[in-house]
Amino acid sequence: MTQLVLPLKLQDHAVFESFLPAGNETMVAYLQDTVASGSGQGCWIRGAGASGKTHLLQAVCERASDNAQFLPVAEFVEAGADILEGLASRRFVCLDDVDAISGDAHWELQLFSLCNALFDAGGVLICSAAAAPRECGFVLADLVSRFSRLPTFHLRVLDEDARIAALQLRARHRGLDLPRDSANYLLSRSTRDMASLYNLLDKLDDEAMIAQRRLTIPFVKEVLKTRSSG
């Protein structure tokens, strides 16, 4: 097999240092230890959409560098399962939203082949999905069995205090100071899933740099008003 090279750019913020592990400490520690040791079969991460699964898989790939490949499966369904060819040449393979292909016989067979080749080579497989392997609707029993051998972690959604802390951590990672009252205001005025909140914080960062302003409540109000009117 030839080595697969996909032109996928990791998000610059998707590193372990910018992920708040509140309630998920065991899982995050497991992932970090796995990357450090390069051993073990990997794991299965289940959780709701926009809860941080993509962030964690990309953090693994960022730390493992050229030894890893990140693949957002849902974005490549139409491209076909042949996109998996050569993936087993990497030490770490991170498949995001792998349940997107459940029920597709060809995809499932190719995934099963990938699992076998990867594990035979001593590689590490990390998958994310909305549910545990047996609850994802896969029809190939051997694939379900193979996935079920992976340790499964449930990525827990952050409560309100933790969301504020996560926003502040993300802001610090970008070199910003996000006061707690401003973070509270963001939570009360926008969609509350972390992906949307992070996107809004990125927008605020851009606007703050242009205006040379701090992330005070008046400035946040001004940006949000401009977004809603635009």
Each residue's pLDDT expressed in tens, for the chain with a length of 230 residues: 333 445 567 887 899 999 999 999 999 999 999 999 999 999 999 999 989 999 999 999 999 999 999 999 999 999 999 999 999 999 999 999 999 999 999 999 999 999 999 999 999 999 999 999 999 999 999 999 999 999 999 999 999 999 999 999 999 998 899 999 999 999 888 766 888 888 889 899 999 999 999 999 999 999 888 877 65
Q: Which domains does the chain have, with CATH numbers?
A: 16-154 (3.40.50.300), 160-229 (1.10.8.60)
Instruction: Identify the burial level of 230 via C-beta atoms within 10 angstroms of its C-beta, where 0-12 means exposed, 13-18 middle and 19 or more buried.
Output: exposed
Residue 165's pLDDT is what?
95
Residue 2's pLDDT is what?
35
Residue 27's pLDDT is what?
98
Residue 230's pLDDT is what?
56
Residue 4's pLDDT is what?
47
Closest alpha carbon to 43 in 161, 125, 138? 125
**Helix axes 180-189 and 217-229, enclosed angle (nearest 10):** 20
- How does 29-45 read in b/e, with b if 16+ C-beta sit within 10 Å? ebbeebbeeeeebbbbb
Q: Is 68 helix (H, G, I), strand (E, B) or coil?
A: strand
Closest alpha carbon to 162 in 48, 3, 23? 23
